[in-house]
């Protein structure tokens, strides 16, 4: 596997974990990011050196773990776009949350250069990225899956093969993000409502995870509120983007998503309060401020 070479763009919390998992699996991995300190950190942990321009033509796979569609397109086809320099038969593994039609368009443009494209959004959080146990919702041709296999094996516990055409993975990720965003906002609303009834957040966390009203997001995010620790594992700012994508897709399908719209407004309000860089559990502060509630850690 040491002969397989990966260029990974985007060394944020998810991308850095994936890059570490690739190195741990023995894959030669070059990591790139707009923040030079992250690149230096990864190289100190075993990442290969070299510029993206130098590596592009030698890479068997380009893994893109950036924030949004605009950044993804810039990496692939911008002024310094990588795809035109990639060798035929190599594969782009695109991980950001994007609209299905964007994924299909990128796959078509890559094919024009003889490059394969795997629509491969990820789920699981930074800890699972670091452990190499992500869930990947993937779609693409059999050749794209085959070319991407060393990356998938090193970074994922579960790879869902959702079809032969790019876009199906992004569609499934949109469904997941709808549920995840709504569940976080609902957790915040339920916990804040409990406080109005004299229920301490610690009691909420003790009881609700053992009851039918629980969710994975509730069990994962509620402790952040109880501990008054809003160090971002997944930030508030992610959700106006991701839920916005969900609603764009819904509108194009003529589908109403009122619960998603309500959750989106909560995250927008949190961002407007200056909480965008905090953990997404901080959306509870919107409810607390409106109701005059005291949260753990408040003076």
Provide the 3-class DSSP secondary structure of residue 134.
strand
Task: Provide the token pair at 202.
Answer: 């610690």
In degrees, rounded to 5, the angle at the alpha carbon of residue 175 between the alpha carbons of residues 129 and 241 is 70
The full DSSP string for 203-256 is HHHHHGGGSTT--HHHHHHHHHHHTT----SSBTTHHHHHHHHHHHHHHHTT--
Annotated catalytic residue: which of 87, 173, 210, 285? 173
Q: Helix, strand or coil for residue 139?
A: strand
Active site residue 173: yes
Whether the CB-CB separation of 222 and 187 falls below 8 Å is answered with yes
What phi and psi values does residue 200 have, to the nearest 5 degrees? -70, 145
Q: How far is CA 125 from the centre of its chain?
A: 7
As given in the structure block, the two tokens for residue 63 are 């893994």
The HSE-up count of residue 254 (CA atoms within 13 Å, CB side) is: 0
Instruction: Say which residues have a Cβ less than 8 Å from residue 242's Cβ, sequence separation at least 6.
Output: 97, 177, 181
Distance in angstroms (rounded) separating the CA atoms of residues 204 and 189: 12
Please give the C-alpha separations between residue 1 and each of 26, 260, 294, in angstroms, as whole numbers: 6, 43, 54
Q: Which residues are known to be catalytic? A: 173
């Amino acid at each position: 596997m040491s002969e397989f070479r990966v260029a990974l763009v985007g060394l944020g919390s998810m991308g850095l974990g994936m890059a570490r998992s690739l190195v741990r699996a023995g894959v030669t991995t070059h990591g790139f990011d707009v923040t030079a300190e992250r690149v230096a950190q990864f190289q100190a942990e075993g990442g290969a050196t070299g510029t993206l321009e130098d590596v592009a033509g030698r890479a068997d796979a380009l893994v893109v773990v950036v924030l949004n569609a605009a950044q993804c397109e810039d990496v692939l086809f911008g002024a310094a776009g990588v795809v035109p320099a990639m060798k035929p038969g190599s594969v782009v593994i695109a991980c950001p949350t994007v609209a299905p039609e964007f994924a299909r368009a990128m796959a078509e443009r890559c094919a024009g250069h003889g490059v394969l494209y795997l629509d491969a959004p990820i789920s699981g959080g930074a800890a699972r990225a670091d452990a190499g146990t992500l869930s990947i919702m993937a779609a693409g041709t059999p050749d794209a899956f085959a070319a991407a296999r060393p990356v998938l094996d090193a970074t994922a516990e579960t790879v869902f093969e959702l079809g032969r055409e790019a876009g199906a993975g992004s569609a499934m990720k949109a469904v997941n993000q709808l549920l995840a965003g709504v569940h976080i906002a609902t957790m915040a609303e339920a916990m804040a409502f409990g406080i109005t009834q004299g229920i301490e957040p610690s009691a909420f966390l003790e009881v609700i995870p053992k009851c039918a009203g629980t969710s994975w997001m509730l069990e994962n995010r509620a402790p952040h509120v109880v501990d008054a620790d809003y160090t971002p594992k997944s930030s508030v700012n992610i959700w106006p983007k991701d839920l916005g994508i969900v609603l764009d897709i819904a509108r194009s399908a003529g589908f109403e998503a009122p619960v998603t719209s309500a959750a989106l407004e909560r995250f927008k309000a949190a961002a407007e309060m200056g909480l965008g860089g905090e953990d997404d559990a901080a959306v509870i502060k919107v409810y607390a401020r409106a109701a005059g509630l005291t949260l753990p850690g408040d003076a």
